[in-house]
Amino acid sequence: MKTKNLTPRQAGDIMGVSPATVLNWIKLGRLSATKSNGRYYIDETSFNSFSGDLAGSGLLQSRRNKSLHNSNYVPNVYIDPKSVNLKTVKALIEHLSGKGFDLYSVLTLYSNALLNKALTNKTVVKELSLEANKALDSELLDLFPLKYIKGEDTLGLLYLSLRRLSDKKKSGSYYTPFFAVDTLVGSIDIAGRSVFDPACGTGNFLLRLPDDHPLSAVYGSDIDEIAVRLTRINLAMKYGVKDLDTLDIIKKNIVVRDFIFSDNAPSCDILLGNPPWGYGYSSDESGRLKELYLSAQTSGKPESFSLFIEKALKVVSKSGSISFVLPETLLDADFHEDIRTVILGKSHVQNIHYLNEIFEKVQCPCIILTLSRTSSKKISTHDIDVYKYQKKRASLFLVDSYSVPSDRIGKQSFHILANNEEYEVLKKIRSAQHFTLKDKADFALGIVTGSNKAFLTDTEKTGYEGILKGKDIHKYYADEPGSYISFTPDKFQQVAPVKYYRAKEKLIYKFIANEPVFAYDNKCTLTLNSANIVIPKVPDYSALYIMAILNSPVMSFYYRHTYKSVKVLRSAIEDLPIACCDHETETKISELAREIVLDTAQNSAKVKLLNSRILELYGISANELENT
C-alpha cells in the first residue's frame, strides 16, 4: 500500500493548529518531512506517531485544542440549569463513563420512554420509536429517570453529552444555550410565517417557537440522521401528536438533508438557527463549493457558516429574513470579507445582537445576525438596530441598544460598536492630522515555548534571564519579570528573530486586552507570546511619544468603539490614528512620558497632565469622552 503524504496545512487541520506551527515543528526536527519543489510533505505514518505522542504529552490540551481530546461532557446551559433533567443526565453520564456504552442504544431507551410518557396514541409512538442496536437493562430508567418537560430539548442534551468533544469539533457542531435560542426567537416576528432551521440538530430552536405556531409551518433539516429522528420525536411531543396524518407533516417537514449541496430546500419566510462553524470539508467537496458559492472563493477551506448564510439568502422567500447565531469574527475578519460582500449585495442587515461569550469551554464571542432579503440594487438607507448583552449565569441581560444608519457598515467591517453620539467623537479623532504605524514599525510575537512548564522557572538560575508575560505589562511600564528562561531559540516552538527581542528600544504590548496597553523597554527584555513587540520607525516621532498616544484615554476610547476582540491585533494597532504635532510638542510629550516610565509610583498628576496635552492634539475634551 502506498504511503500517503500530508501537507503542513492538512496536518494542521487534523491537529487543530496553524500550518505555521507545523512548519515550526518541522524546522525544529520534531516532525519528519521531505521537501519537493519548495513544499514540505509529511509521511502519514510518521505524523500519526508524532500526533499520538503529542496528545499524550498534554501540550495540545494546554492550547485548548480539542481535536485530540476525548472526554464526555455535559453542557450546563443547553437547557435551563434549574431543570431536574440536567442533574440526572450528569449522573447518567458519570455512571456510563468507562463502560463502553452504545450511544444509540442509550438514546433509544430514553427516547422511547419519554415518548410513552408524552403521547397517548400507541401507533404514533411505535412509528417514532427507535430500535436499539442491543438491548439495555431498563434499570437505567429507574436509576436515572428523565422527566418530559415541554419545550426542553432533553434528548438533545443527552445526545450531546454522549458524543465526544472531538466529534463535535470535527463536525462544526456546538450546542446553543437555551437563553441564546430564546433571544433569537424572541427578536423576530414569527407569527403567520413559515420557519426553517437548515441545521436543526435535535430541534432546540424549533422547540422554542411559540406554542401556538402551526406545526405545518415548521421545517428542519440536518445531515445527522440520529439528530433528525430526535427532532421528529421532540416536535411530536411538543405538539402532542395524536394521529398519523399529523405525524406525516413532521416526517415531511423534518428531513435528513445536506443543505449546502442539496437543491430541494423549502422556501420559507424565516430561516433561523446556529449553522455549523468550521466544518471539515474534504478537498473534493471544497473544490465543488468553490464552483457553487461566492463565499468559498477565499484561500483555504470554505467556512461552513458563510456557506449557510449564502445558501439561506438564495432559498428564503422574497420578503423573508434569516437570523443565525454566528461567531463575532464574521463582522470584521479579513477572511470573511467574501460573505460580507454577498450579504451587502443580496440583503439588508436588520439587526446585530452582541452576545459575547455564551458557549462553555469555547472562547468565541458570538452574535445574532438578522438579515432581510432584497433584490433591490439601490443604496440602502434603512437603520440597523444594535443590541448589546451581558451574560450572567444562565441568562442574557440587555445593557445597551441603539439604531444607526446602514452606511455605517461596509465589506471591511460590520461592527457597530458606537452609537451615533460616540461615532461623532470617533470622526473627530480621525479627522485630526495623524499618521499610522502601517509600514512604519516592526512587529514581533513573543516566544511560544511549546511548554512553559518545561522551559520556565520562577527562580533565578545561572544562564537564565527574566521574561515578561502579558500580566506583567501595564501602561508605560512593566513589572519586574516573575519568570525566567534559558534563551535557546532552536528549542522553542515559535520564536521571532532575536534582533527584535534585543532591540535597544521597543514597546511591549499586552496581547489579551480590551484597549491598548503599552510599556516601554530599553533593557532588551524577552517576552512570551502574551506580550508582543512593536518597534516604531517614524521620522521625527519617538517611541516614547507614540507610546503616550497609544496609552491615552483618547486612543482607549477610539479602540473600544472601533474594534471588538479579546486580542489586540497588529492590524488594529497599525490603523490607530496617532496625532501629528510640532517638534516642541513632541519633545514635551516624549519627556513627560519618559518621566512616567521612570516613576516607580506612577505619578498620577503627570499622567493626567500628559493625557490633557494629548486631548488638545485631537481637539476634544475629557467630557466628550466621558459623556458618550
Which tens digits make up the pLDDT trace of 80-115?
Answer: 999 999 999 998 988 888 777 888 999 999 999 999
Q: What is the DSSP letter of 413?
A: B
The fraction of the chain above a pLDDT of 90, given in percent, is 74
The mean per-residue pLDDT over the stretch 113-123 comes to 96
Give pLDDT, residue 260. Answer: 97
Asked if the model's pLDDT at residue 128 lies above 80, the reply is: yes
Lowest pLDDT segment from 87-91, 210-214, 311-315, 346-350:
87-91
Highest mean pLDDT among 33-47, 366-380, 418-432: 418-432
Amino acid letter, 305 = F
Helix H or strand E encompassing 578? strand 578-579
Q: What is the pLDDT of residue 58?
A: 40
Q: What is the pLDDT of residue 378?
A: 60
Predicted local distance difference test score (pLDDT) of residue 565: 81
| 489: pLDDT strictly greater than 80 | yes
Say if CB 452 and CB 528 are below 8 A apart.
yes
Mean pLDDT, rounded, for 384-403:
95
Mean pLDDT of 356-385: 84
Residue 249 confidence (pLDDT): 98
Give the pairing of strands 218-222 and 254-256: parallel
* DSSP symbol at 361: T
CA distance 393 to 387: 19
Identify whether the C-beta of residue 121 lies closer than 8 Å to the C-beta of residue 236: no
Write the single-letter amino acid at 621.
S
Of 389, 114, 127, 137, residue with least CA distance to 247:
127
Structure letter (DSSP) for residue 35: E
State pTM to two decimals: 0.82
Tell me what the mean pLDDT of segment 265-288 comes to: 93
For the packed helices 103-118 and 225-238, what is the interaxial angle rounded to 10 degrees?
10
Q: What is the pLDDT of residue 31?
A: 79
What's the pLDDT score for residue 21?
64
pLDDT of 68 higher than 50: no
Q: Each residue of 24-60: pLDDT tens digit?
A: 677 666 678 888 777 788 877 777 777 666 544 444 4
Q: Which one is predicted more confidently, 29 or 71?
A: 29
Q: Looking at this protein, which amino acid is placed at residue 361? A: K
Residue 336 scores a pLDDT above 50:
yes
Cell (9 digits) for 301: 477551506
User: Residue 172: its pLDDT value, please?
Assistant: 44
CA–CA gap between residue 202 and residue 156 (Å, rounded):
5
Q: What is the pLDDT of residue 63?
A: 35
Nearest to 485 by CA among 455, 514, 510, 505: 455
The closest alpha carbon to 367, from 347, 346, 384, belongs to 384
What's the first-to-final CA gap in the chain, in angstroms? 68
Q: Among 26-35, 91-100, 502-511, 584-593, name the one with the lowest average pLDDT.
A: 26-35
Specify burial of residue 133 (Cβ count, 10 A radius: 0-12, 13-18, 19+): exposed
Higher per-residue pLDDT: 8 or 480: 480
Element (H, E) at 534: strand 531-536
**What is the distance of C-alpha 291 from the center of its chain?**
27
39 by Cβ neighbours in 10 Å (0-12 / 13-18 / 19+) ranks as: exposed
- CB of 547 within 8 A of CB of 593? yes
- Residue 19: pLDDT above 80? no
Question: What pLDDT band is residue 64 in, cutting at 50, 70 and 90?
Answer: very low
- Write down the pLDDT at residue 75: 87
Q: Which three cell numbers stand for residue 205?
A: 430552536
Report how far residue 348's alpha carbon sits from residue 326's, in angstroms, rounded to the nearest whole number.
17
Give 170's pLDDT tier (boundaries 50, 70, 90). Answer: very low
Distances (CA, A) of 79 to 113, 176, 202, 212, 375: 19, 9, 13, 21, 39
Most confident of 45-49, 161-165, 462-466: 462-466
Task: Catalogue all structural domains in the chain, each as residue range(s) with its CATH number.
Answer: 5-62 (1.10.1660.10), 85-418 (3.40.50.150), 434-626 (3.90.220.10)
Window from 17-26, 43-52, 290-299 with minimum mean pLDDT:
17-26
Mean pLDDT, range 257-267, rounded to an integer: 95
Tell me what the pLDDT averaged over the chain comes to. Answer: 89
DSSP H helices in 396-447: 420-431
Helices (H), 28-138: 44-57, 59-62, 84-96, 103-118, 122-128
Q: Give the pLDDT of residue 173.
A: 54
Q: Is the pLDDT of residue 61 over 70?
A: no
